[in-house]
A and B are shown apart, each in its own frame.
Chain A
Amino acid sequence: NAGVTQTPKFQVLKTGQSMTLQCAQDMNHEYMSWYRQDPGMGLRLIHYSVGAGITDQGEVPNGYNVSRSTTEDFPLRLLSAAPSQTSVYFCASKRQGKQYFGPGTRLTVT
């Protein structure tokens, strides 16, 4: 099992550009989520999904969209990137209370 995979590993965007961060898991977990990690702030929940076709907002959803068309994939879309979205993004899946995190995507918006 590959667990939770994320692509790309690194990304630089200009202000106003859009992009999609990819996340996939091969553990057949229903619950998936996206977090951002900023220095001194811990991880903050952006969006989450309890199953295919169901998504909900977390603590900091503004500027991000998600969809869940399959159990395996949970992409995160930045509609119009802003410097405030410079961060490290982590995708996670969860089963029976245990969260499994991907390796992260480091995003810089200039």
Chain B
Amino acid sequence: TQLLEQSPQFLSIQEGENLTVYCNSSSVFSSLQWYRQEPGEGPVLLVTVVTGGEVKKLKRLTFQFGDARKDSSLHITAAQPGDTGLYLCAGAGAGNQFYFGTGTSLTVIP
């Protein structure tokens, strides 16, 4: 059962543009994480959000957790080629399990 849907699935933009990636679910999560994965490597944790409505910033990346803790967004300002990768959201459910989203593949063209 896929509990988290991400959109868009693929995104190709020019360097300097802004973008937003969405992570949506009908389930409530106690926390939500965002990862970035590069080809041939495992995912690397970017951020964890815990409180509904929480906003966290990591340099040019802004993460928001929905008020109802069912959805989240990732906004990148002035994208750079180094931002290229697969972005994954993951919600913490019952029993120590994390449920991953379908992923958004981002390509930033120089």
* Chain A interfacial positions (CB closer than 8 Å to B): 4, 31, 35, 40-45, 48, 50, 56, 58-59, 90, 92, 97-104
The answer to whether B100 touches A44, judged by C-beta atoms less than 8 angstroms apart, is yes
Given contacts A40-B9, A40-B102, A97-B31, contact A45 B97 (CB under 8 A): yes
Q: Which residues of A contact B101 (CB under 8 A)?
A: 42
Task: Say how far B42's CB is from chain A's closest CB, in angstroms.
Answer: 3
Q: How far is the CA of A6 from the CA of B62 in the complex (A)?
A: 32
The answer to whether A90 touches B42, judged by C-beta atoms less than 8 angstroms apart, is yes
Q: Which residues of B contact A40 (CB under 8 A)?
A: 9, 102-103
Q: Is B45 engaged at the interface, CB distance under 8 Å to the other chain? A: yes
Task: Say how far A13's CB is from chain B's closest CB, in angstroms.
Answer: 20
Q: Which residues of A contact B43 (CB under 8 A)?
A: 43, 90, 99, 101
The answer to whether A50 touches B96, judged by C-beta atoms less than 8 angstroms apart, is yes
Q: Which residues of B contact A100 (CB under 8 A)?
A: 45
The answer to whether B4 touches A42, judged by C-beta atoms less than 8 angstroms apart, is yes
Q: Which residues of B contact A56 (CB under 8 A)?
A: 95
Top 10 A-B pairs ranked by shortest CB distance? A101-B42, A42-B100, A43-B100, A42-B102, A101-B43, A90-B42, A42-B101, A42-B103, A102-B42, A103-B42
Write the chain A residue with the least CB distance to B92: A97
Write the chain B residue with the least CB distance to A35: B100
Q: Which residues of A contact B103 (CB under 8 A)?
A: 40, 42
Given contacts A41-B2, A41-B102, A99-B98, contact A104 B40 (CB under 8 A): yes
Partner of B45 from the list A43, A58, A99, A104 (CB cut-off 8 Å) is: A99
Q: Which residues of B contact A101 (CB under 8 A)?
A: 42-44
Q: Which residues of A contact B97 (CB under 8 A)?
A: 45, 48, 58-59
Q: Is B88 engaged at the interface, CB distance under 8 Å to the other chain? A: yes
Q: Is B48 engaged at the interface, CB distance under 8 Å to the other chain? A: yes
A–B pairs, 9, beta carbons within 8 Å: A35-B100, A40-B9, A42-B102, A50-B96, A58-B97, A59-B97, A98-B48, A99-B45, A99-B98
